[in-house]
Chains A and B, each alone.
Chain A
Amino acid sequence: DIQLTQSPNSLSASIGDRVTITCRASQSISNYLNWYQVKPGKAPKLLIYVASSLQSGVPSRFSGSGSGTDFTLTISSLQPEDFATYYCQQSFSTLWTFGQGTKVEI
């Protein structure tokens, strides 16, 4: 299985901060990397697909980059509704796997 390791596991930030989350794959996955936002009791939300494409309806403060084994999710100016847990997910191999999550807290 392809392992995805996110860092950090959690972070504390303030409104307006620039936040960066990284995701490292155990082998090259080209650009087959997606990012999701998860809040308790709510449907997870696709933010970024194939590394850098912004899902329709997602604010432009979210961006993704990377290829191969190293990927980044950036929130340019953190808003109150962005406090959540973020997961990366690879779709390169037959068995899709997720990172362990990064919790963004106030």
Chain B
Amino acid sequence: QVQLQESGPGLVKPSQTLSLTCTVSGDSVSSGHHYWSWIRQLPGKGLEFIGYIYYSGSTYYNPSLKSRVTISVDTSQNQFSVNLTSVTAADTAVYYCAGRLPDYFDYWGPGTLVTVSS
């Protein structure tokens, strides 16, 4: 059974960088089956796709976040990570990692709340 788990600081100061890691168990990030993705849920709003990385290192980012986002993969640790720079209160959200197939997300982590505040 594939499981994903997000980890990282729950509180980040404005203008700093938000960094989260997703640990994958039950599958290999190198298997080539999934595009490893990040999604967030802004308070009182819907879900927003942030971006994904393929095991080869190729990436795609939401154009609205592209200038601030970097997603990377660590095959030795079976993890992938997201960095979001220059955060503001508007980046406060529950952040999810997920495994994406060509047409849908089939695996998700439980999410982690990140609050941006001084």
Q: Do A and B bind each other?
A: yes
Taking Cβ atoms with an 8 Å cutoff, the residues of A that contact B are: 32, 34, 36, 38, 41-46, 49-50, 55, 87, 89, 91, 94-101
Contact-residue size bin, chain B (C-beta under 8 Å from the other chain): 20 to 34
Q: Who on chain A is nearest to B62 by CB?
A: A95
- Secondary structure at the A interface, as helix, strand, loop or mixed, is loop
Quick one: given A43-B4, A50-B104, are A94 and B60 in contact (CB under 8 Å)?
yes
What chain A residues lie within 8 Å of B41 (beta carbons)? 38
List 9 tightest A-B contacts by C-beta distance, closest first: A98-B47, A43-B108, A100-B46, A49-B104, A34-B104, A44-B108, A43-B110, A91-B103, A96-B49
**B49 contact from A36, A49, A97, Cβ within 8 A:** A97
Which of chain A's residues have a CB closer than 8 A to the CB of B109?
Answer: 43
Residue of A nearest to B63 (CB): A95
Contacts of A42 in B (CB 8 A): 110
Q: Least Cβ distance of B14 to chain A in Å? A: 26
Q: How many A-B residue pairs have CB under 8 A?
A: 53
A101-B46 in contact given A43-B4, A95-B63 (Cβ < 8 Å): yes
Residues of B participating in the A interface, judged by any CB pair closer than 8 Å: 4, 41, 45-49, 60, 62-63, 96, 98, 102-111
